[in-house]
Every structure is written in structure tokens, then in C-alpha cells.
């Protein structure tokens, strides 16, 4: 399963990319607005930090406008993935942009029928929003399961299922059980995934016991030489 981070905050991206666990980044107009940064500048900088796909969303709503914006965004860096909304014009733009060799992420997917259309339009990624469905008493994870099941029936569908609008680590676990290709995680959720109180407790106990032995693994040259390990 690939992990993308869902943010336009460079400090978060740099910190999390340093773990070696980040395969890409997704942004959207709301996240760019929250960053307070210039859109083109921030996408360029993210692409310098992360080698994998970096989603940058168009804001035009008509076909020609989306294609022109998408072409401009795709020129920022080879790893830019143009993000288009799941509308008629968005899917037409998806087809045109992928035909020109660009990667395209079709966003705002809320139903299996929309996901079928995205795959037929040649999307590189489709982004079903699990959290926003859960928010309105829907079942975001059932949508992921349905899309994965449908795509598995058609090997010519190359679209990867990118689970978006993730709210907590269990969303990631459930998506992984289903076999979704990618999860895009808010930085907070990726940090939460590392945490377990028994890890902290266990480590503290190991270190306290180790301290009692008075030993050191990196014990210095003299000790290593005594063992013939210098």
C-alpha cells in the first residue's frame, strides 16, 4: 500500500518524507488556502522534496479551462499529478490530459458508478472520500470495497484506488485489508499510526533494565579491541 500525505504544509511534508514512508503528496484548493502559500511555488517545492506523485488540483470547471490549467500544472515537474473533479468536463479533461501523458487524479468520488467512469476515462488515480461519506451517515469503507471489487473484474482498468478524506488510523487499516492501492493521510493520522502506549511502556522498561547492566553497545575502542572487533 502506498502512503501519500494530504497537505500543502512543507514542514510536515519534509518531516514525514524523512521517515522514508511517504510515496507521494495530495493537495487540494482548501489545503493550499490553509498553507497561505502561492500555489505554483508550493507545488514546485513539494515536488523537490517528494519524488512520487504530487496532486495539484485545477480550479476551472469547464473542459478547456481544466485542460489548459492541467497542462500548466503538469509542466511544474514530471511528478505532478493533475487533479480534476469527477464531473463530465472533469472526465473529458482526464481523458485529454492522460492522452498527453500526464498523470491524473480524479477527485470527489462518492459512488461506485462514478469510479467506473473515472477508470474508463483513464484516470491514474480515483479518490473516493471516505470521511465525508461517514460524516453524512454513509459508509466510506464499503465504497472502497465496492470499487476495488469492480476494478478487479477488469484488468484493463489501470486506475489506482486512492483512499482520501481519511480521518483516523482505522480508516487506513480497513483500506489496507480491502487492498486499496493508496491511502492519502493527513499528517496527524500518519503520526498517530506510530503510537501505541505499550510500545512506550515496553521501551522504557527495556532501557531501565539495560541501564542496570552498566553495558554499552558502542563501548569504545578499548572494549572492541579486547573482543577483536576493532
Which residue from 129, 133, 144, 190 is in contact with ligand G3P, where contact means CB under 6 A?
129
Query: Which residues are tagged catalytic?
Result: 83
What residues numbered 30-69 form the site for ligand G3P, per CB under 6 A? none
Nearer residue to ligand G3P within complex by CB, 7 or 79 = 7
Around Cβ 42, how many Cβ atoms within 10 Å?
Answer: 21
Size of the site for ligand G3P (CB under 6 A): 9
Q: Using CB under 6 A, which of the segments 94-102, 126-134, 172-180, 191-199 binds ligand G3P?
A: 126-134
Over the window 131 to 160, marking each residue x when it contacts ligand G3P by CB under 6 A and - when it does not, the resulting string is xx----------------------------
Interface pick for ligand G3P out of 79, 81, 124, 184 (rule CB under 6 A): 184
In the DSSP assignment, the letter for residue 89 is: H
Q: Look up residue 32 and give its three cell numbers.
A: 493550499
| Cβ neighbours, 10 Å, residue 190 | 25
Q: Which residues pair with 162 in a beta bridge?
A: 182
Query: What's the first-to-final CA gap in the chain, in angstroms?
Result: 41
Instruction: Tell me if 26 contacts ligand G3P by CB under 6 A.
Output: yes
Handedness of CA 30, 13, 172, 104 (dihedral sign): positive
Q: How far is the CB of 83 from ligand G3P (least distance, A)?
A: 8
Chain Cα centroid distance, residue 182 = 6
CB atoms inside a 10 Å sphere around CB 92: 17
Q: Phi and psi dihedrals of 167, rounded to 5?
A: -115, -20
- Least Å distance between CB 92 and ligand G3P? 21
Stretch that binds ligand G3P, among 59-67, 93-101, 128-136, 222-230 (CB under 6 A): 128-136
Asked if 7 interacts with ligand G3P (CB under 6 A), we say: no
Choose one: 74-82, 129-137, 171-179, 197-205; the region binding ligand G3P (CB under 6 A): 129-137
3-class DSSP state for residue 160?
strand
Binding of residue 81 to ligand G3P (CB under 6 A): no
SS3 173: helix
Amino acid at each position: 500500500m502506498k502512503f501519500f500525505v494530504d497537505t500543502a504544509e512543507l514542514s510536515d511534508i519534509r518531516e514525514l518524507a524523512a521517515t522514508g514512508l511517504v510515496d507521494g503528496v495530495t493537495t487540494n484548493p482548501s489545503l493550499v488556502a490553509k498553507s497561505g502559500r502561492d500555489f505554483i511555488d508550493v507545488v514546485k517545492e513539494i515536488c523537490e522534496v517528494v519524488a512520487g506523485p504530487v496532486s495539484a488540483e485545477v480550479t476551472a470547471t469547464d473542459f478547456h479551462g481544466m485542460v489548459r490549467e492541467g497542462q500548466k500544472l503538469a509542466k511544474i515537474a514530471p511528478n505532478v499529478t493533475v487533479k480534476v473533479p469527477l464531473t463530465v468536463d472533469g472526465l473529458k479533461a482526464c481523458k485529454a490530459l492522460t492522452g498527453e501523458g500526464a498523470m491524473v487524479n480524479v477527485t470527489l468520488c462518492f459512488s461506485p458508478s462514478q469510479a467506473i467512469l473515472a477508470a474508463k476515462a483513464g484516470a491514474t488515480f480515483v479518490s473516493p472520500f471516505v470521511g465525508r461519506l461517514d460524516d453524512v451517515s454513509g459508509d466510506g469503507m464499503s465504497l472502497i470495497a465496492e470499487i476495488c471489487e469492480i476494478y478487479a473484474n477488469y484488468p484493463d482498468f489501470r486506475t489506482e484506488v486512492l483512499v482520501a478524506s481519511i480521518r483516523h488510523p482505522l480508516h487506513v487499516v480497513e483500506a489496507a485489508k480491502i487492498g486499496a492501492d493508496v491511502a492519502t493521510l493527513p499528517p496527524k493520522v500518519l503520526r498517530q499510526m506510530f503510537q501505541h502506549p505499550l510500545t512506550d511502556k515496553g521501551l522504557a522498561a527495556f532501557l531501565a533494565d539495560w541501564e542496570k547492566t552498566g553495558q554499552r553497545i558502542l563501548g569504545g575502542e578499548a572494549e572492541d579491541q579486547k573482543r577483536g572487533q576493532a
